[in-house]
Amino acid sequence: MGREFAYQSVYRYLQALIDEAARGGERRLPSLRALSRHLRVSLATVQTAYGLLEHEGRVLSVPKSGYFVPAGAITGVTATAESDQAMLAHPAMERALFAHERRLARQRARSLPGTQSSGEVRLRHVLAERYTRSSRQSWRAEDVHLGPDMQALLETLLEALALHGSTVLVASPCCWRLLRVLQRFGLHVLEMPVDNHGSPDLGSLARLLGRESVRMMVMPSCLGMPTGRLMSQQDQRQIAHLLASHPVWLLENDLDSEHCFDTPPGARLRDWVDQRWLLVLGSLQALVGAEAPYAYVLGLHGTLGERFSRRAFQLPPVRQQALAQMLSNGEVDGQLSRRRLELRKRMDHLCHQLNVCLGGKLAFDMPDGGYVLWVRMLEPIALDRVSPALSGPALQVLAGARFSVQGRYQHYLALTWAGDRPEALSEALYRLKQVLAPRRGRQAGSKS
């Protein structure tokens, strides 16, 4: 098993210890050497897992003392983990995946040695066809590069392009997990200038590209997260026009495009740019669920294939074949259509309940897609008062500042409801209302 899988195992092991701490268990975590011996992995593998948790704010490193679960991270850890798992779980899709795997396993057992097709080759071919159909760009199987998860794939991509220490410009707000990977890789992260309506400020962007040595820009394909807003085709064209004058890689974030409430628009950002500088980031997890944690990137650069080949990611061949079958026979698209309807109904209900329970305290617009509701607190408060609202698993509440590296969105919240137990959602919103209510003796407008 490759190192990428090893650090995932260590990460999950540490997650369990953190959850125990949330239930009153030991807050001190094992040392690097102790955990390395216990799990029979290298020190570097353990350090990678600890580093990931530390950047997520769930682990605190104290010099000469070791690693601890910080008190502020205990509240809401279990709720966040459960909500994430609920969002990534797609039972119908996963049942279909397992059924295909069982059938393919039986076929492999009956087939002669040397006649079995490569799951990876087939999956790459199907993904290339899928992206060729959905855009004006033409892709080949050799342009598709697979990784065991998003972190391993992004690290390999950034290494292949020799971007360590470079400047990268990201859409703002930006997925906080993506931000952490970029920071861990040693990149200088700048955020897209935006106007008063949250749209790209193209004049400021042009000036920024003129004075900064930006090597990569990370932008949504069509649906931005966490705001859930569609990018206009006019903005897409103007951004592409600016990029045409600068040697900048475009990493198009296509993780959430399929979660538009309506069918994803025909035009994506990638349709307007030079394909030689284009990279498209996608995830099978976003399509199929947590049983397919694999990520992929499409790109023409010659060093990508070499670098990914050198990493030699070992993905389960039968699962890759099953995923390719589901993508090619229309099962995934059929399930995605139903999921979009479910997401819209879920968001309608969440918005309605927020208006009933918290009308006048939060400002928000119905998003165009996704499962996150981006809201602004009308009476800004210290964010440590929001933390009690994280204690329930029904509603995940993340501070907006987590989606920025430049101190933006201090008075925003990202709300995620998994869609089950409406009564638990009402209870969570009531707790949030209590937290947001002004308290006597304190200034309601205190800033974090």
CB 14 within 8 A of CB 48: no
Q: What is the pLDDT of residues 128-168, one digit of tens each?
A: 999 999 888 899 999 999 998 888 899 999 999 999 999 99
Please give the CATH architecture assigned to the domain spanning 95-332: 3-Layer(aba) Sandwich (3.40)
Integer-rounded Cα Rg, in Å, for the chain is 22
Confidence of residue 335 (pLDDT cuts 50, 70, 90): very high
Mean pLDDT of 388-411: 78
Mean pLDDT of 291-304: 92
- Domain spanning 338-436: CATH 3.90.1150.10: yes
Confidence of residue 394 (pLDDT cuts 50, 70, 90): confident
Predicted local distance difference test score (pLDDT) of residue 205: 94
Q: Over 90: is that where the pLDDT of 350 sits?
A: yes
Domain spans of the chain, in order of start? 3-74, 95-332, 338-436
Predicted local distance difference test score (pLDDT) of residue 117: 57
Predicted local distance difference test score (pLDDT) of residue 74: 46
Quick one: CA dihedral 137, 140, 143, 149, positive or negative? positive
Say which residue, 272 or 70, is predicted with more confidence.
272
Q: What is the pLDDT of residues 308-328, one digit of tens each?
A: 998 888 888 899 999 999 999
Least confident of 149-163, 218-232, 269-283, 412-426: 412-426
- pTM of the shown model: 0.79
Residue whose tokens read 């993508």: 327
Predicted local distance difference test score (pLDDT) of residue 444: 41
CA of 368: how far to CAs of 224, 256, 343, 355, 419, in Å?
A: 9, 11, 10, 18, 17
Confidence of residue 92 (pLDDT cuts 50, 70, 90): confident
CB neighbours of 394 closer than 8 A, spacing ≥ 6? Answer: 417, 418, 420, 421, 424, 425, 427, 428
Distance of CA 46 to the CA centre of its chain: 22
Q: What is the pLDDT of residues 6-54, one digit of tens each?
A: 667 788 788 888 877 766 667 789 998 889 888 888 887 888 788 778 7
d(CA 7, CA 86): 23
DSSP string, 397-447: EEEGGGG-SSS--TTEEEEEE-S--HHHHHHHHHHHHHHHS--TTS-TT--
d(CA 246, CA 210): 9
* Phi, psi (deg, nearest 5) at residue 116: -80, 130
CB 160 within 8 A of CB 304: yes
- Domain spanning 3-74: CATH 1.10.10.10: yes
CB 109 within 8 A of CB 93: no
Predicted local distance difference test score (pLDDT) of residue 261: 95
